[in-house]
Chain A
Amino acid sequence: MTRFSRASSNPSPETNPAPPRLKSDEGPAMRIIVPLQGVVQGRGGLVLGSLLPCALFYFLQLYLKSRNRPSQSPPSSPPTTLSTPDDHHASPSSPPSASGSTIHRTLSRGLLSPRSHPNVSSRAAAVARPDEDSLYYVGYKRCLRDPFHRVDNPEGIIQLGLAENRLSQDLILDWLEKNAYGALLGGDKPGELNIMGLTTYLPFDGSDNFKNAVAGFMGQVLQESVSFDPSQIVLTSGATPAMEILSFCLADPGNAFLVPSPYYPGWDRDIKWRTGVELVPVPCRSTDNFNISIPALERAYTQAKKRGLKIRAVLIANPTNPTGHVLSRDTLIDLLDFVTEKNIHLISDEVFAGSIHGESKFVSVAEVLESEGIDKTRVHIVYGLSKDLPLPGFRVGVIHSYNETVIAASAKLARFSSVSAPTQQLLTVMLSDKQFISNYLEANRQRMRRMYLLFVDALKQLGIECANSEAGFYCWADMSRYITSYSEKGEKKLWEKLLTVAKVNVTPGLSCHCIEPGWFRCCFTTLTEEDIPLVVERMKRVTQGPK
């Protein structure tokens, strides 16, 4: 987890978040080294200038060595049990901590000493590292251990950190009750089972029928302003693998993407973990309504080049996460011009395209391409069904590209992340029910709008203003007036207070690489209207409580 956009203590508005990334366990080390510099430079005479610095450096080496060791070797003490899955519910890849379980089996004295344990790879070591440095995931874990429940646990933590939409699940349930059995197993004659097609190998990037249905759904979401060609899409088991596969295709290890920030915290894992691709945040500012700035992209690009870092793409989300904006056509054109000039790619993550609750019409980058006559082979869209059609756990993601080589490679890579056949079957029928989809999208939009307005209003009562959002499941709230020191530390303290005192889990801006302290993402789509006054009461414990 890196926040190098905040690595310098006083980021000036014009400089770039360009200092080399500090690994989280190098941080504390730097805080010791810097003050020692004065001593090292021999300003202290013989004892202070020589003996003391030597001694200090000796101990510093020991300290650094002992800090580095744990991350490279697997646990060597008697294995601990694995926590039961009942403890862990919904999470955006929220992991159990690496140490915290015991194996219930006989252990012979043959358990060997640490030296004989085969190590895991360095990629694995990075993945297994406990995630105390990412509050996005820490908040999750805490919430899971003490989840709010109106009846069973009214004092539990209210989850406002999960971008999941439960507002319209009843509509989906209804459809499933009426249609699922037939869709899944029904043959041509009543009572006949037709499952042969489900069991055999399907093309790894999705069956033709399913691709057609998904392409049709994507067109319907965009109100037919664009028509997607099924032969240009690759289906995967979720938007997470779609993004990773695309990253593997567009960049080599050690390359980087420019990413306007604040951005979705999950990308730091999904994209960086196995591909070796870096993400360079390009901060957007509240004074600019968090809009994407091409000059900022330019500066970031140049800075990266100076550092010898090769930029291969610009990655955006549209609608944006966590700010919930719908990008304007002009912004998209500017972005396309930028990537064309630099001869790099543009990745547009449009997972929330069907979750617009505001007045603006959503414009997909695909639409702009059609009209502007730009080279399409550098533009790729990532999509998925989880947000716009929340069927929990069904796992359907999409890569859409005009680039033949990208499609060919992604289609082969999709073998590692294919959509389950019964799911393809069921969804093909559901997505083809255009009437249902149309009703669903509209009803959902209205419910989201209503909840958004209620929630934003509630926050206003607490003196918390939100940025104008038109899409997504969350609002982007400015709680800076409630932080004691206008800094990363201050924001962390407020987040902690919200979690432990108000018992509300929200996502702090620093997890999203926001350089302005005090912004928080609060999801409202897992709430009911009755929950809102309760959320207000809880938050008052902090907003009206002692500082």
Chain B
Amino acid sequence: MVVKVYKPCVPLSAIATSSTHGEDSPYFAGWRAYDEDPYDATTNPSGVIQMGLAENQVSFDLFEKYLEEHQEVSKLVNDIGGFRENALFQDYHGLNSFRKAMASFMEEIRGGKVKFDSNRIVLTAGATAANELLTFIIANPGDALLVPTPYYPGFGRDLRWRTGVNIIPVNCNSSNKFQITKQALEEAYAKAEKANLQVKGLLMTNPSNPLGTAMTRPVLEEILNFISSKNMHLISDEIYSGSVFSSEEFISIAEILEERGYADAQRVHIVYSLSKDLGLPGFRVGAIYSYNDAVVTTARRMSSFTLVSSQTQKMLSPMLSDVNFTKNYIKTNRGRLKRRYDYVVEKLRECGIECLHGNAGLFCWMNLKPLLEEATTDGELKLWETILKDLKLDISPGSSCHCTEPGWFRVCFANMSIETLDVALSRFTSFMEKRRKT
């Protein structure tokens, strides 16, 4: 008789074995499909075109030009003597000059309408880390954050996985262009109370991902009043602030706070990053700006888990402080994104697809409700699969963004050349034509 001997499997943590990373969702499945069969104009013209990744490549040349014209900047990398001066080993304050540069850049983006104190900036390796850090700081395990829908699919992971915090969606719909209403806020809050969850804060993205819209003044005021009345925190993720097509149309929460004389500012924390506006996601540069001293202190200490490379800080500092460069970059980048957006929306309209009227971001929010066989999440996913398999386009279904209205899709347009974009648009066109015939 054979005696089977099993090797004991050494147990791992719940975090290691959970699926809260959310990477089983269609949002990520589409990425995998792309990885396996990526489009290339010459070698793989029938491959999958990646329209599910919000990356900005439209203004990359400006960055390259800057480096070419300022070669002394790159030489700063050698400046280890300079490193020694700052005695930077594991310093989580970050380079003084770099924080000032970030503050300056953030002010430029807001058209000089607000001032930022560089001492309130805490650097993190990306906005992903910034959002998680703030969640650790403002909420205990088991608490909740309110997040307006639709929202960035990564939040499910970034805000919940290690922190043990819950997300309660604040549901928005197309009846009012997906704007956040007081009623929706109150409903979400009541839901949390009923489930015995303590709501510690509201996290909003302004401009919104995936909607591609900047929040209006009345809505921002409403939100500030709401969080004050409930004594909670507000995290304003303004990672796309430099990607609003026209600077007049973006109102940062910082502006409203300044107008109110900073009353209640201790509740508010802004998240930023260079990944979207500057198109430098590989550099891993994020920041938390908080009006709350305790949060700044704590975030700084916790940032030891997510520091920005000093080399990167040194490299970027002169460029971000160069107001001539940043003014021009922001203006040019905004213009190019607007042109792309208008182009995409027009082409889609021509073949019968409407998008939400947007004014920001690297994507458009496409309405494919008329194409659904059934107005359900299943119907939406079926359509998503068709688009992935037949059109070879990876777009993000609204359900992965927790949108309660089936049929909406996020389509990114800034992460590819105009030629590739044309190919993608022509695939939509042929698809719609075929449907009309049948």
Contact = CB atoms under 8 A, between A and B. Distances in A.
B15 interface: yes
A110 interface: yes
A54 interface: no
Contacts of A274: 136, 162, 302, 305
Interface stretch (A179-187, A283-291, A489-497): A179-187
Interface string B62-73: 011001100100
A110 B260 contact: yes
Among B86, B162, B306, residue most surrounded by chain A Cβ atoms (within 10 Å): B306
A392 interface: yes
Interface stretch (B89-97, B185-193, B362-370, B374-382): B89-97
A89 B95 CA distance: 10
Contact of A88 (B83, B91, B293, B311): B91
B294 interface: yes
Contacts of A377: 9-10
A33 interface: no
A122 B140 contact: yes
Contacts of B64: 193, 195
A90 to B, nearest CB: 4
Nearest to A421: B282
Contacts of A164: 89
Interface in B193-244: 200-201, 228, 231-233
A415 B261 CA distance: 37
A343 B262 contact: no
A188 interface: no
Interface in B9-63: 9-17, 21, 23, 53, 55, 57, 60, 63
B310 interface: yes
B141 interface: yes
B297 interface: yes
Contact of A240 (B21, B136, B305): B305
A528 to B, nearest CB: 13
A420 B282 contact: yes
B139 to A, nearest CB: 5
B432 interface: no
Contacts of B129: 415-417
A101 B78 contact: no
A79 interface: yes
Q: Which of B233, B261, B297 has the most CB of A within 10 A?
A: B297
Interface string A305-319: 000000010000000
Contacts of A121: 136-140, 143, 200
B371 interface: no
Contact of B119 (A84, A91, A98): A84
A477 B309 CA distance: 34
A391 to B, nearest CB: 7
Nearest to A192: B68
B13 A199 contact: no
Contacts of B313: 393
Interface string A98-120: 10010111111011100011101
B140 A105 contact: no
B208 to A, nearest CB: 21
Contacts of B80: 169, 172-173, 176, 391-392
B94 A85 contact: yes
A358 interface: no
A302 interface: no
Nearest to B161: A413
A193 B68 contact: yes
Interface stretch (B120-128, B326-334, B392-400): B120-128
Interface in A486-519: none
B309 A395 contact: yes
Given A82-B293, A98-B297, A394 B309 contact: yes
Interface in A372-409: 375, 377-378, 386, 390-395, 403, 405-406, 409
B30 to A, nearest CB: 15
B77 interface: yes
Contacts of B311: 391, 393-394, 420, 422-423, 426
B144 to A, nearest CB: 12
Contacts of B260: 108, 110
A381 to B, nearest CB: 16
Interface residues of A, number: 106
A160 to B, nearest CB: 15
Contacts of A412: 21, 23, 157
Contacts of A415: 126, 128-129
B96 A85 contact: yes
Interface in A106-162: 106-108, 110-112, 116-118, 120-124, 127-128, 162
Nearest to A96: B297
Contact of B8 (A103, A343, A419): A343
B263 A108 contact: yes
A423 B57 CA distance: 21
Contacts of A193: 64, 67-68
B117 A104 contact: yes
B307 to A, nearest CB: 5
Contact of B89 (A90, A95, A201): A90
A472 interface: no
Contacts of B140: 121-123
B177 interface: no
B153 to A, nearest CB: 13
Nearest to B310: A393
Contacts of B55: 200-201
A120 B117 contact: no
A379 to B, nearest CB: 10
B323 interface: no
Contacts of A394: 309-311
B116 to A, nearest CB: 10
B284 interface: yes
Given A117-B266, A118-B266, A199-B282, A84 B7 contact: no
A177 to B, nearest CB: 5
Given A394-B309, A420-B312, A91 B91 contact: yes
A250 B283 contact: no
A89 B90 CA distance: 9
Given A93-B304, A118-B200, A201-B55, A237 B14 contact: no
Given A176-B78, A345-B10, A416-B128, A95 B96 contact: no
A90 B281 CA distance: 27
Nearest to A378: B10
A251 interface: yes
Scoring A200, A403, A422 by chain B CB atoms within 10 A of each residue's CB, the highest score goes to A422
Interface string A419-454: 111110010000000000000000000000000000
A-B interface, 5 closest residue pairs, ranked by CB to CB distance from nearest? A393-B310, A110-B263, A108-B261, A421-B282, A85-B93
18 contacts: A74-B266, A74-B293, A84-B119, A85-B94, A86-B96, A105-B117, A107-B261, A117-B266, A123-B140, A127-B301, A128-B294, A392-B80, A393-B88, A393-B307, A393-B309, A393-B310, A395-B307, A420-B312
Given A106-B262, A253-B141, A409-B21, 4 more contacts: A85-B94, A89-B88, A110-B261, A199-B282
